[in-house]
A and B are shown apart, each in its own frame.
Chain A
Amino acid sequence: MMSPLEQYALLLGMIAGTAGLVGCVYLIGRSFGKPRREEGKDVPASSGRLSSEPVWVRYHVRYYGLALLFLAFDMEMAFMYPWAVVYRKVGLEALLDMGVFLAILFLGLLYGWSQGALKRR
């Protein structure tokens, strides 16, 4: 059994290894020869028209209401993980505690639903 520190070090090593694997793949690809720089080749493909207009603009996402609700629920899930682990030991009390918490959040979801936050803006 490895200690947690060793496990995380192993995972870090795996990240490095994967990056190294990708690097090797790129090196193999490079060994076939360098790409030819030609006119128009590096313009992003847009169905036959060369439009090199930059698209890094303020993108108007339509789901921002939903994204805020998602943040709330994500924070809730952070609490639920430890709760799930000790659930069996604590028993009914845990169910009631978390039940209240979830009910409040669910009410929040219903409120957002009624206000149209779940729809596309």
Chain B
Amino acid sequence: MITGARKGETSWLRRLAARASSKELAAFVVPGPEVARAFGLDLGAAGLRVVPSPRHASVLVVVGGLPEGLRDAASVIYAQMMRPRAVLVLGSDTASPLPGPDVSAPMDQESLSAAVARLRRAFAEGAWDPGVEDYAPEAAATETRYTCPMHPEVVQKEPGACPKCGMDLVPREVSSGESDGEEEEEEEAGELHHGSMDHGEHGSGGHEHMDHTDMGFMSMVEMTRDLQPSGDGLRMEWVEVPFGPLFPGLPGGLALTFTLDGDTVACVQSGSAVGRGGGCLQGVPVDDLLEHLGRIDPLSPVAYRVLALRAVENAAGVEPARATAYLGALEHERVVSHLGWLSSFGYLIGYEWLHRRAAGLQLALLRDDTGEGETLWGDLSDLLQRLRGATLLRRRLEGVGRLRTARAAEYPGPVSRAAGLPYDVRSEEKAYQDLGFEPAVQEGNDAYSRLMLHLDEMERSQEIVQAVGSVSAPDDLGVQDGISGEGDATVETPRGPARLRVRIEDGMVRSAELETPSGRHAQLVEDVALEHEVADALAGVASLDLSPWGMTR
């Protein structure tokens, strides 16, 4: 029996439907398909079709363990999937609070294919079962609260009358987690938005939960008198819409909330559900530092390992002689990371060809870790050429997500390079200077120039990888035990410069400070999304190439 079976005895009809379900596996990926691709897993080739809505999905695929911040969201998503449903966990054994995984497998492509075959058998045999229980996680529980339509800040547990205007309170469902923090949220928000007002004057059918009859007739002007006017002078009602943490177009874990005025973004709240807490590196033995840092961000692990290596070498006073040997790995990862970003971006803007092609190239590059695949580099050049000549892509993205140059200058990295400021950590490193490296720069400071910048950077990284030859990543520190000292190192990760300062005593990390690029770039989300149409806002946010794993919670 699969964990999400439907209740009943099997009959010939149900067996047919079960067999059909096993042939058509639709997957919803947690934390996101970009993470699966970063681990080298090709879900499509294994037979899983990735779908954007949990209601169309039959399998919940958890890649690489369920981070704590995503537990609630994942259980809500699972609760919203239609039965028969199953859980597939890759790279871990459990995924609580989801029901025990139907199939779990290590994270490589052959195991994935075998796991999908097992899943198909599980569906064909166990999609119906007489002994089925409800799935009731805490996160999906809802309660009824009573609120006043005119004063949404008045929330009570029992029905009654509003203390401010005397109207009857109407019932509203809120999730149990929300209801505790609701009052604080209303104060924090501070803006005038009446997202919870519903009224029945649209003539669209009966709204039983809405009751304005006892208020007497109210004209539209009266009802919207207190609302804030929008850009064109009309007063409309705003709705708060979550776009995360498990939104298919954005990186998994990025928890955006847009307050929409029609289809324009009026307010933005952003955060990360998978960000790292502070002080996670304290007390770690130096030998394990490489592993720890490599696990922080699954989207660019090599860069963080090189960062750890350089910081420790700096602390030990060792000359960074091996820095050259890791140039190839860094640049190879840059190409892979940019391709992954291109693929997600293509999915977001509905450019199916780009989504497929970039994903295919990324997976091919990850599989071929010798860095010598000539055809792959040729394919990459083809892709770059086609994208540069795509006029409709330019029309789509020009002007989207524009920042002021002064603002972009505060955030060194790809964002500032796309605004014409050529700051790049790599141009100060001797190994890069020897290879004649020059940072890629674009003018324009909008989503299109960021896209072009990524393409230019991929080209340069390709040249470096072909010049260096080896792409092996660091896997050991090569310093003796019991070192002490203070180390400070910076590395240009694919998303911007990351800096690590460690204080080591007797081979243990006493204190560490890690600055990640996405942690800083997260503050640009509001600049990029405000007052844009929702699709443009999402494209702008995606163009910043944020990694929610590097953001702080």
Contact = CB atoms under 8 A, between A and B. Distances in A.
Contact between chain A and chain B defined by CB under 8 Å: yes
A60 B234 contact: yes
A57 B55 contact: no
Contacts of A36: 6-7, 83, 132, 134
Interface in B73-118: 73-74, 76-77, 79-80, 82-83
Interface stretch (B160-168, B242-250, B407-415, B433-441): B242-250
A50 interface: yes
Given A39-B136, A60-B236, A50 B261 contact: no
B76 to A, nearest CB: 6
B141 interface: yes
B236 A58 contact: yes
Given A36-B6, A36-B134, A39-B134, A46 B197 contact: no
Given A48-B74, A59-B236, A62-B263, 20 more contacts: A32-B6, A33-B6, A33-B128, A40-B141, A43-B142, A45-B54, A46-B242, A47-B242, A48-B77, A49-B245, A50-B177, A51-B241, A52-B173, A52-B175, A54-B196, A56-B198, A56-B204, A59-B262, A60-B234, A60-B263
A35 B8 CA distance: 11
27 contacts: A32-B6, A33-B128, A38-B134, A39-B135, A39-B140, A39-B142, A40-B141, A40-B175, A43-B140, A45-B54, A46-B241, A47-B77, A48-B77, A48-B242, A48-B244, A48-B246, A52-B142, A53-B196, A54-B209, A55-B241, A56-B198, A57-B237, A59-B262, A60-B234, A60-B236, A60-B263, A60-B264
Nearest to A34: B7
A88 B128 CA distance: 66
The 3 closest A-B pairs by CB, nearest first: A60-B262, A40-B140, A48-B73
Contacts of A47: 73, 77, 242-248
Interface of A: 31-33, 35-36, 38-41, 43, 45-62, 120-121
A41 B55 CA distance: 9
A62 B234 CA distance: 11
Nearest to B14: A32
A50 B198 contact: no
B135 A38 contact: yes
A29 B381 CA distance: 50
Contact of B224 (A49, A54, A58, A59): A58
B239 interface: yes
Given A41-B79, A120-B533, A50 B140 contact: yes
Interface string B128-157: 100010111101111000000000000000
B178 interface: yes
Contacts of A58: 220, 224, 236-237
Given A48-B74, A50-B178, A58-B236, A40 B80 contact: yes
A58 B14 CA distance: 44
A53 B142 CA distance: 12
B141 A39 contact: yes
Given A48-B74, A57-B197, A61-B262, A39 B13 contact: no
For A54, A55, A121, the residue with the greatest tally of chain B CB atoms inside 10 Å of its CB is A54
Contacts of B70: 48
B468 interface: no
Contacts of A53: 195-196, 239-240
Interface string B43-84: 000000000011100000000000000101110110110110
State the majority secondary structure of interface residues on A: loop
A59 to B, nearest CB: 5
B514 to A, nearest CB: 27
A32 B13 contact: yes
A31 to B, nearest CB: 7
Nearest to B201: A58
B74 A39 contact: no
Interface residues of B, number: 68
A45 B232 contact: no
Contacts of A45: 53-55, 77, 80
A56 B202 contact: yes
A20 B216 CA distance: 42
A40 B202 contact: no
Nearest to B234: A60
A51 B242 contact: yes
B60 to A, nearest CB: 12
A121 B232 contact: yes
B17 interface: yes
Contacts of A46: 241-242
B405 interface: no
Contact of A38 (B8, B17, B79, B230): B79
Nearest to A54: B198
B553 to A, nearest CB: 16
Contacts of A43: 80, 140, 142, 173
A33 B8 contact: yes
B526 to A, nearest CB: 19
A41 B134 CA distance: 11
B174 interface: yes
A62 B262 CA distance: 8
Contacts of B261: 60
B207 interface: yes
Contacts of B247: 47-48
Contact of A60 (B73, B174, B230): B230
Interface string B212-224: 0000000010001
A81 to B, nearest CB: 30
Contacts of A49: 73, 76, 175, 242, 244-245
B212 to A, nearest CB: 13
A74 to B, nearest CB: 21
B485 to A, nearest CB: 44
Nearest to A50: B175
A39 to B, nearest CB: 4
Residue among A31, A46, A48, A56 having the largest count of chain B Cβ atoms under 10 Å: A48
A39 B139 CA distance: 9
Nearest to A42: B80
